Structure 1
Amino acid sequence: MAPPQLLVFDVFGTVVDWHGSIAAEMARLYPQVDSNAFALAWRAGYKPTMARVMSGELGWTRIDDLHRMILDDILPGFGLSNMPENERRSLNRVWHRLHPWPDVVAGLARLKRQHLISTLSNGNIGLLTHMAKHAGLPWDCVLSAEVFRAYKPDARVYLGAADLFDLQPGQVMLVAAHQDDLAAARASGLQTAYIERPFEFGAQQPKDVSPHPDNTLHARDFGHLADQLDAHRLA
């Protein structure tokens, strides 16, 4: 393995705990609501709504705006159809306030010593920047699919990231907790590292985090990824 020069990171689920963060906020603000079900319902609307943009049914739409569309759709099902506009706007910004997994901040600091590190998320730039400020994420660059007017898994996102840094695809590694994202990155020539996040969907729905043989690396967390990259660099 040639050591990658640039590490690009999926964010939702890989870097930050979207489920735990949203469920905690809902439990605090609206204790009458099943906060676990609410978090899952909000996230479940993500891919179908994004597909409406990719199909051309909707014009290009920022993830902030897609999140708001989904929020408005699911509120009645949780008895919150009368939520005022100011509360809806504030709740939609919870995606800017997601908390990182425990290993993330220290792990990114280690990874940053030897590599450029950047987001490569479908989240819009404003969202990702606010999140980094809130969570103390030490990115070298905040890069979004918004730059390419295409959502992952479109190849333009992965190849565009390499091109922005004047690198060949094989000099870039995508770090993600989602095998479909990693598969699309590999198809574009990137190296890939899978991160285990077994409780991305909450403790009640642990997910399979088995290794996939096509990934370049498989790591328990960001610290373990740094260990492996350091070993390859020094070999």
Structure 2
Amino acid sequence: MPEIRDIDVVVFDVLGTLVDEPSGLRTEIRAALPEAADAAVDELLVLWQRHVEAEQRRIAQGLRPYANSGTIDAEAARRVAEHAGLTDPAALARLATAGQRLPPWNDSAAGLERLAQRFPVLGLSNAGRTALLRLSAHAGLRWHQALSGEAAQAYKPAPEVYRLAIDTAGCPPERVLMVAAHAWDLRGARASGMRTAYVHRPIGDSPTGEDVFDGRFDGLDALVTALSAS
């Protein structure tokens, strides 16, 4: 197990790393459309995810002004509703806030609690401010501070989002560890000078053979153990 030394602050990605985003969205789509077949729900989940990815990409390319995750999720919910024939306003309104009710991975809350006894811990998320607040409360995630890319009017992997964490940490970037289940996220953090640790999740973006991260771990417990030993 690798040890990661000389770290002052630990920063966590949230969506996918600490909460199971696809499972949570699937549950909310199923609740809005209880009669839908499983295959139809899966198709609607893909429709939602593709919309979010496309709109974040358009924002990054300067093709759309910044819109926070709440706005983009509401658009995705409308697309799902139109595709599925959902017309109930209350069901649509609840579906639009699905990103605020994502389940944590089994080791997330306890791992954060252990780590926060030794290090300042930050969340750094593409979720908007309100969504991040409510998601953290729903999933039982306890931070010393949670930062949203909304403050930088950008989405990771834009460098200005990582700068939020570095500036908040108040120390050189090489003493700030970014933890994520997404290799693309860690590449962005590394390009900003941060240290990096990959934590495996079933729905993450796995590293390639060319990725150079400071550590790779099967789960959050292994990461916490390695940091506690450093």
| RMSD, aligned CA | 2.0
Where do residues 175-214 of structure 1 align in structure 2 (5 Å cutoff)?
175-198=179-202, 200=203, 214=212
Partner of 2:218: 220
The number of equivalent residue pairs is 224
TM-score by length of 1: 0.88
**1:166 corresponding residue in structure 2:** 170
Query: Which position in structure 1 is the counterpart of 2:28?
Result: 25
Match of 1:42 among 40, 45, 48: 48
State the Cα distance separating 1:211 from its structure 2 match. 7.4
Equivalent residue runs for 1:115-130 within 5 Å: 115-130=119-134
Distance 1:159 1:228 in 2: 25
* Separation (CA, whole Å) in 2 of partners of 1:129 and 1:76: 29
Indicate the percent of aligned positions where both proteins have the same amino acid.
Answer: 30
Shift of 1:167: 1.4
Secondary structure at the counterpart of residue 90 of structure 1: helix
TM-score between both structures, scaled by the size of structure 2: 0.89
CA pair 74-26 structure 1, distance change in 2 beyond 3 A: closer
Provide Cα deviations, 1:127-164, integer angstroms capped at 9, x if missing partner.
11111111111111010111111211111111231112
CA distance in 1, matches of 2:211, 2:33: 43
Structure 1 residues 148 and 20, CA gap change in structure 2 (3 angstroms): same
| 1:211/1:218 contact within 8 Å kept | no
How far did residue 60 of structure 1 move?
1.9
Gaps of 5+ in 2: none
1:78 shift after superposition? 2.7
Identify which of 148, 153, 158 aligns with 1:154: 158
Cα deviation, residue 179, structure 1 = 0.5
Q: What residue identity is the alignment partner of 1:54?
A: A
- Corresponding residue for 1:62? 68
- What corresponds to 1:11 in structure 2? 14
1:91 to 2:89 alignment? no
2:146 alignment partner, SS class: coil
Aligned equivalents of 1:211, 1:20: Cα separation in 2: 28
Q: CA deviation at 1:92?
A: 1.3
> Could you tell me which amino acid in structure 2 is paired with residue 224 of structure 1?
A
CA deviations on 1:187-208 (whole Å, 9 max, x unpaired) are: 111111111112x28xxxxx75
Q: Which amino acid aligns with 1:189?
A: G
Q: Which runs of 5+ in 1 are unaligned?
A: 202-206
Look up the equivalent residue of 1:78 and give its one-letter code: A
1:52 aligned counterpart, secondary structure: helix
Work out whether residues 177 and 197 of structure 1, in 8 Å CA contact, stay in contact via their aligned partners in 2. Answer: yes
2: distance between equivalents of 1:195 and 1:15?
10
Write the distance in 2 (CA, Å) between the matches of 1:221 and 1:155.
Answer: 26
- Name the amino acid aligned to 1:28: A
3-state SS of paired residue (2:216):
strand
Q: Is the 8 A contact 1:197 1:209 kept in 2?
A: no
Amino acid at match of 1:163: D
Greater shift in the superposed pair: 108-117 or 16-25: 16-25
